[in-house]
Amino acid sequence: MLYDLNIAWSPSTPPDKLLQTLAAARSLGYASVAINHQLDQPVHTAPSSCPIPPLAPTTTTTTTTTSLALPNILHRATFPLADPSAPSYRLPALAAVYDLVAVRPTTPEAFQNACLTLDVALISLDLAQPATRFHFRPKPCMAAVARGVRFEVCYAQLLNAADARARAAFIGNVTGLFRATRGRGIVLSSEARSALGLRGPADVVNLLGVWGLPHERGLEGLRALPRGVVVNEGIKRTGFRGIVDIVQTAEDPGKGVAQQGVPEDTPGGGKNQKRKPGQLGDGAQISKRQAKKMRLANRAAAAGADKSG
C-alpha cells in the first residue's frame, strides 16, 4: 500500500480541483493520502473543527455525472515553527481536530528543537527556500530517528521551483539530509497543489536516488514509514493513553462449553475431563500413603509375574 501524506490544500482551493488531484493520486497507485492544511504563522488559536470540507466522489457537469475513484483520505495540519522558545501547547489542540499533525521548522534552531524535544511524528521541511539553508548534522538527525520522528521530503518543491536558485537549494538540502540520516526515517510526499504535481512511485524513487537515497529506503518512504506514522497517530487518538488499543475482544470460554452439550452444573465438568493425579473415576480422593502402597503392590505383582514366566 502506497501513501502520500501531503496533498496541499488552502481555503481558496476549488473542490473540483482537489477531487481531480485525489483521483490522479489514486490512479498512480496511492491508496491513502492526507490533505494538508498549512497553517499561517503565527498561530494564535487552534481551530475548533477541521476546515477541510467533506468531499463527494461524484462530479456533476451540465451534461453528465461522473463517479471518481478516490483513495482513503486523512486530514492533516502543518504547524509552522520559527522560534525554538515558542510554546507548543497548541499541538495537542490540533491533534484533537486533525488525523495527523506535522511541524515545519523555518530556522536551524527550530529544526534542532523539533529533532530533540518536540513530541511530533513528522517534521516537514521546505527545502527549496534559498534563504533558509539548513546544515544537517548527524547527531540531532539520528536522535530524532531514534525517537521515532520522521523527516518529510516533498518532491513537488523541486518541480514547482521558481528559479535555478530554488532548485539548487532543494538539491543541496536534500543531499545533506540524506547524508546526515543515511537515508533512514525519510517519508516521501508530494505536496502537490494540482494533478500535474504528482508523480508515480517509481519516478519518485528514481528521482531521489540520484541524490543519494537508496532504492530500498525510497520504497520504505512510500510504504512502511508513512504507514507507521498513520497507525501510531491513530493509536494516540483512540487507544488507552496512546499505548494500548483494543483490536478484538476474546470470547467467553464458558459459552463454548455450554454449546457443545456439556452440563455446566456437572461435578468435574463432564465425562471427558482429565482426572487430576490421585483422583479416582468417581471423583473420590485418595491419600498419598495409599497411592504409594498401590504403586508398591503393582511393582511386586509385576516382579512376581516375571519370575513365574
pLDDT number for residue 290: 84
Q: Look at residue 304 in the predicted model and tell me its pLDDT.
A: 77
Question: Residues of 87-115 as b/e, b for ≥16 C-beta within 10 angstroms?
Answer: ebebbeebbebbbbbbbbbbebebbbbbb
Coil, helix or strand for 18? helix
d(CA 148, CA 146): 5
Whole-angstrom distance, CA of residue 283 vs CA of residue 23: 71
Q: Which H/E stretch holds residue 66?
A: strand 65-67
Please report, in angstroms and rounded to a whole number, the separation of the first and last CA atoms in the chain. Answer: 75
Confidence label for 240 from pLDDT (cuts 50, 70 and 90)? low
Residues 6 or more apart in contact with residue 133 via CB below 8 angstroms: 169, 172, 173
Question: Residue range 231-241: average pLDDT?
Answer: 80
**Per the confidence metrics, is the pTM higher than 0.85?**
no
Which range, of 17-21, 139-143, 172-176, 244-248, averages the lowest pLDDT? Answer: 244-248
- Angstrom distance (rounded) from CA 208 to CA 211: 6
The rounded mean pLDDT for the chain is: 83
Would you place residue 48 in the very low, low, confident or very high pLDDT band (cuts 50, 70, 90)?
A: confident
d(CA 186, CA 149): 9
CA distances (Å), origin 49, targets 5, 98, 229 = 20, 8, 22
> 6, 152 in Cβ contact below 8 A?
yes
CB 225 within 8 A of CB 186: yes
Q: Which amino acid is it at 120?
A: V
Predicted confidence at residue 270, as pLDDT, reads 47
- Please say if the pLDDT value at position 274 is more than 60: no
124: number of CA atoms within 13 Å, CB side? 27
Strand partners, 122: 150
Please give the domain boundaries of the chain with CATH numbers for all domains: 3-57+68-241 (3.20.20.140)
Contact between 28 and 198 (Cβ < 8 Å): yes
> How do beta strands 58-60 and 150-154 pair?
unpaired
pLDDT of residue 61: 46
Strands 186-189, 150-154: pairing is: parallel
Mean pLDDT, rounded, for 155-159: 93
Cα angle: 252, vertex 258, 259; to 5 degrees: 95
Grid cell digits, residue 289:
500413603
124 in Cβ contact with 150 (< 8 Å): no
Question: In sequence order, what DSSP letters do the residues of 194-220 get, joined into one string?
Answer: SGGG---HHHHHHHHHTTT--HHHHHH
Q: What is the pLDDT of residues 277-308, one digit of tens each?
A: 555 555 557 788 888 888 888 888 888 776 66
Sign of the CA dihedral with 238 first, then 243, 244, and 247 last: positive
